Amino acid sequence: MSSGGKPEKVSVEEAMDRRGKGEFVRSATAFHDDITANGSGGFKAEANRYHLYVSLACPWAHRTLIVRKLKGLEDAISTTVVDWYMAQQGWNFTDQKPKCTKDPVYDAKYLSEIYFNVVPDYGGRYTVPVLFDKKTKVIVNNESSEIIRMLNTEFNEFCKTEDQKKLNLYPEHLKSKIDEVNDWVYPYINNGVYRCGFATTQEAYNAAVKPLFEHLDKAEDILSKTRYLTGNQLTEADIRLFTTLVRFDTVYVGHFKCNKKRIMDYQNIWGFVRDIYQTDGIAETCDQEHIQKHYQQSHLSVNPSGIVAIGPDIDFNAPHDRDKFSK
Span 125-183, pLDDT tens digits: 999 999 999 999 999 999 999 999 999 999 999 999 999 999 999 999 999 999 999 99
Whole-angstrom distance, CA of residue 50 vs CA of residue 208: 37
Please list, in sequence order, all residues whose beta carbon lies within 8 angstroms of the beta carbon of residue 18, skipping any fewer than 6 positions away.
Answer: 10, 25
Interhelix angle 236-247/267-277, rounded to 10 degrees, is 110
Q: Is 100 a catalytic residue?
A: no
Question: Are the CB atoms for 84 and 294 separated by under 8 Å?
Answer: yes
The three-state secondary structure class of 249 is helix
Q: How many other β-carbons are positioned within 10 Å of the β-carbon of residue 224?
A: 13
Give which of 243, 272, 227 is closest to 65, Cα–Cα.
243
Q: Does residue 4 have a pLDDT over 90?
A: no
Taking the C-alpha atoms of 323, 251, 67 and 275 in order, what is their torsion angle to the nearest 10 degrees? -10
39-67 average pLDDT score: 97
If one compares 88 and 272, the residue with the highest pLDDT of the two is 272
Could you tell me the pTM of the whole model? 0.95
Catalytic residue among 85, 122, 170, 194: 194
CA distance 282 to 255: 25
- Indicate the pLDDT class of residue 102, thresholds 50, 70 and 90: very high
Mean pLDDT of all residues in 76-84: 98
Q: Where in the chain is the domain with CATH 3.40.30.10?
A: 31-166
Residue ranges matching CATH 1.20.1050.10 in the chain:
173-326
Kindly tell me if the per-residue pLDDT of 2 is higher than 90.
no
> Which superfamily, per CATH, for 31-166?
Glutaredoxin (3.40.30.10)
Q: Which of 50, 53, 58, 115 is catalytic?
A: 58
Burial class (CB in 10 A: 0-12, 13-18, 19+), 310: exposed
Q: Return d(Cα 296, Cα 294) in angstroms, integer.
A: 6
CA distance 244 to 237: 12
Q: CATH number of the domain at 173-326, please?
A: 1.20.1050.10
Known catalytic residue at 159: no
Compute the distance between CA of residue 228 and CA of residue 185 in angstroms, rounded to an integer: 14
The average pLDDT across 231-239 equals 97
Kindly report the backbone phi and psi dihedral angles of residue 309, in degrees, each rounded to the nearest multiple of 5, phi listed first: -65, 150
